[in-house]
Amino acid sequence: MIGLVSCPEAARIDAATASGAAMPPLLLMEDASLKLWGAVGEIARERGAGKGRFLLALCGSGNNGGDALAMLRHARFSGLNRVAAILAKEPGELAALHAASLTALGVTVLSWTKDRQACERLIGDASLILDGLSGSGLSGPLREPSSSLLAAANEAVGKGGAAIASIDLPSGLSDAYEESWPIAEAAWTLSIEPRKACLYFPLARSHCGRILPIDGVFPYDAAVASSAQLLEAADLPLLAPLPADSAYKGSRGKVAIFAGSEGASGAAVLASRSCLAAGAGIASLFASPGLFPIVAPMLDAVMVKREPEDLRSFDLSRFDAILVGPGWGRSSARRDDLARLLESGIPAVLDADAIGLYRELVDSGFRLKAPAILTPHPGEFAVLTGLEPGRSLACPDKPLVAVAKAAGAVIVLKSHVTWIASPLGEVAVWDGRECGLGTAGSGDVLAGLTAGLLASGIARARRSGDGDGAGVADASAPFFSAARAAVLAHGLAGSRARESRGWFESGAIIEEAAKLLGRPPSNFP
């Protein structure tokens, strides 16, 4: 996992490094600019920047502008002659030193407000644009004159003439980002580590392009205490360890599934099969009377049973986890059924229809008796929060943590970049961006994987003497681990399925996820 920090945390790391290492700000900037140029120099040469066409820096008054100016000096010293800079506003103290150095070297340094036409010609003749207009100190939308300069650069990108490499963050992006704010259309983001979490806001992610980590500017462990983590493929075996060799079906986790309805049988089938693919030993689907004869012949390894007429007297104690919601329906009777299931205190995964029903229960005063996992897509998250989907996807961290804490549940906000929050305020992010997963039934598979992994984790904790998960120091720990592992397995499986098959149906995700989750760690890619 890679630590992610907020913009204020990044500022504190900057200040602590300067004081703790007794490094003057100018020395820090020089060090950063050398590493930034080392990362982007080859890209500039491949694009012909600095030779046939211009390598151009767009600079604000802050440190990112100073970094961009210093990078031009390194480019100039490395033999690139056609380099130039445009200042959006009067440079700050450090940036001014680098601007003066460029001027002394004969490099063109223009003012956007004073030399507009010459600046526009430069932008039109640029091959690579170094974006240093704003950084992590931005607190609102980018304003004039920087916003119009950024618009001109984005227009050049749209015409295919130039590409943007943003320093640290695409200009316009911050912790408070909103969808309507102007933002750089970066092909590369040169991320000075530790990485900022806002790079992975779902609605901002496409503006960041390829994120290139710039290490060594700050101490390697600067984000060690961060509550937010970026998930990596290598984390999967750690989050979902294999059961002991002595495990049997009853010890690998038992899941009760309440899913499907007439016309939505596929949701029940996919979710049930996914529980077993996640490693659970036993999956029992409790189907409505009309659904039972349809799904029973379709599921050979899942125990398909008729749903009890009265869930109040139904004993769930033999199960480690329950999954409720995929294709289940949203009637008032289903709302009452959900309340009875949750009152059992059995760890639960709520997906699809169960999320809306849960919100109705909360509005009537209901509270969970045990931790749970909720897996909403943006529309369902809007039901939970009252926020428009565009708002939550633009800046998901705070509302996600707030809902997780209020519910006492792990929340998985599904998108092309998925955000996960625990009741303790921990956050995990999966930068999946796999369009193949945008297919019918994909969410049902994720719900089943989550429930199967939760049941397996709780069974494993019980066998190791940690109880059923409710008696450990952090009762939500098995839930947070299961959610992260499920999102990882689902995302990696989607990528593998598209690589091997092209477009695929959701059943392919189950097959690939089973391979990943059942593979010994030594054989994990």
The answer to whether 490 touches 445, Cβ cutoff 8 Å, is yes
Task: Indicate whether 240 belongs to any domain.
Answer: no
pLDDT bucket at 463, cuts 50 / 70 / 90: confident
- In this structure, are 225 and 253 located in the same domain? no
| Residue 356 pLDDT > 50 | yes
| Residue 468 pLDDT > 60 | no
pLDDT bucket at 165, cuts 50 / 70 / 90: very high
The residue written with tokens 């102007």 in the block is 182
Task: Indicate whether 71 belongs to any domain.
Answer: yes
Q: Hey, how many other C-beta atoms are within 10 angstroms of the C-beta on 236?
A: 24
- In this structure, are 354 and 430 located in the same domain? yes
- In this structure, are 296 and 223 located in the same domain? no
What CATH number is associated with residue 379? Answer: 3.40.1190.20
Contacts of residue 273, Cβ cutoff 8 Å, sequence gap at least 6: 283, 299, 301, 302, 448, 507, 510
**Ramachandran bin of 149, using left for φ above 0, alpha for ψ from -120 to 50, beta for the remaining angles:** alpha
Helix axes 332-343, 353-363, angle to 10 degrees: 80
Mean pLDDT of 97-104: 95
Domain around 393: 248-523
CA–CA distance, 157 with 502 (Å, rounded to integer): 30
Which residue among 201, 229, 257 closes a domain? 229
The per-residue DSSP string of 345-402 comes to T--EEE-THHHHHHHHHHHTT---SS-EEE---HHHHHHHH---HHHHHHS-HHHHHH
Rounded to two decimals, the pTM is: 0.94
Q: Please write the tens of the pLDDT for every residue from 10-54.
A: 999 988 888 888 888 899 999 999 999 999 999 999 998 878 899
Angstrom CA distances, 207 to 6, 129, 167, 201, 495, stand at 18, 15, 13, 10, 21
pLDDT score at 470: 42
- In this structure, are 217 and 306 located in the same domain? no
pLDDT score at 49: 87
Task: Indicate whether 453 belongs to any domain.
Answer: yes
Mean pLDDT of 274-285: 98
Q: How far is CA 221 from the centre of its chain?
A: 21
DSSP 207: H
Task: Indicate whether 242 belongs to any domain.
Answer: no
What CATH number is associated with residue 80? Answer: 3.40.50.10260
Mean pLDDT of 67-85: 95
Task: Indicate whether 241 belongs to any domain.
Answer: no
CA–CA distance, 168 with 253 (Å, rounded to integer): 44
Percent pLDDT > 70 in the chain is: 98
DSSP 437: G
The per-residue DSSP string of 439-497 comes to STTHHHHHHHHHHHHHHHHHHHHHHTTSTTSSSSSSTTHHHHHHHHHHHHHHHHHHHHH
- In this structure, are 394 and 486 located in the same domain? yes
pLDDT score at 466: 53
| Partners of 73 in the β-ladder | none
- In this structure, are 220 and 265 located in the same domain? no
Residue with the bigger pLDDT between 522 and 192: it is: 192
Query: Which regions of 116-227 does DSSP assign to beta strands (E)?
Result: 126-132, 163-167, 188-192, 195-196, 210-214
Task: Indicate whether 42 belongs to any domain.
Answer: yes
| Residue 524 pLDDT > 80 | no
Which residue among 166, 197, 229 closes a domain? 229
The per-residue DSSP string of 209-221 comes to -EEEEE-SSS-TT
Mean pLDDT of 499-517: 97
pLDDT score at 472: 41
pLDDT score at 467: 46
Mean pLDDT of 273-285: 98
pLDDT score at 525: 64
The answer to whether 461 touches 478, Cβ cutoff 8 Å, is yes
Query: Would you call the peptide bond into 243 cis, given omega within 30 degrees of 0 as the criterion?
Result: no
Mean pLDDT of 434-460: 97
- In this structure, are 301 and 217 located in the same domain? no
Considering its fold, how many domains does the chain have in total?
2
pLDDT bucket at 479, cuts 50 / 70 / 90: very high
Tokens of 154: 């984005």
Angstrom CA distances, 525 to 78, 385, 470, 515, stand at 38, 38, 33, 12
pLDDT score at 18: 84
Contacts of residue 36, Cβ cutoff 8 Å, sequence gap at least 6: 67, 71, 167, 190, 192, 214
**Nearest Cα to Cα of residue 339 among 314, 311, 313, 319:** 311
pLDDT score at 37: 97
- In this structure, are 149 and 275 located in the same domain? no
Which residue among 195, 229, 263 closes a domain? 229
CA–CA distance, 331 with 412 (Å, rounded to integer): 24
pLDDT score at 161: 85
Percent pLDDT > 90 in the chain is: 84
φ, ψ at 301 (rounded to 5°): -100, -10
Contacts of residue 187, Cβ cutoff 8 Å, sequence gap at least 6: 157, 163, 164, 165, 209, 210
The residue written with tokens 């259309």 in the block is 185
- In this structure, are 336 and 196 located in the same domain? no
Q: Please write the tens of the pLDDT for every residue from 329-348.
A: 999 999 999 999 999 999 99
Query: Which regions of 66-123 does DSSP assign to beta strands (E)?
Result: 83-87, 108-111
Task: Indicate whether 220 belongs to any domain.
Answer: yes
- In this structure, are 184 and 289 located in the same domain? no
φ, ψ at 10 (rounded to 5°): -65, -40
- In this structure, are 158 and 93 located in the same domain? yes
Task: Indicate whether 364 belongs to any domain.
Answer: yes
| Residue 474 pLDDT > 70 | no
Using DSSP bridges, classify how beta strands 348-350 and 254-258 pair: parallel, antiparallel or unpaired.
unpaired
The residue written with tokens 């009890």 in the block is 308
- In this structure, are 183 and 291 located in the same domain? no
Mean pLDDT of 144-161: 95
| Residue 232 pLDDT > 60 | yes
pLDDT bucket at 296, cuts 50 / 70 / 90: very high
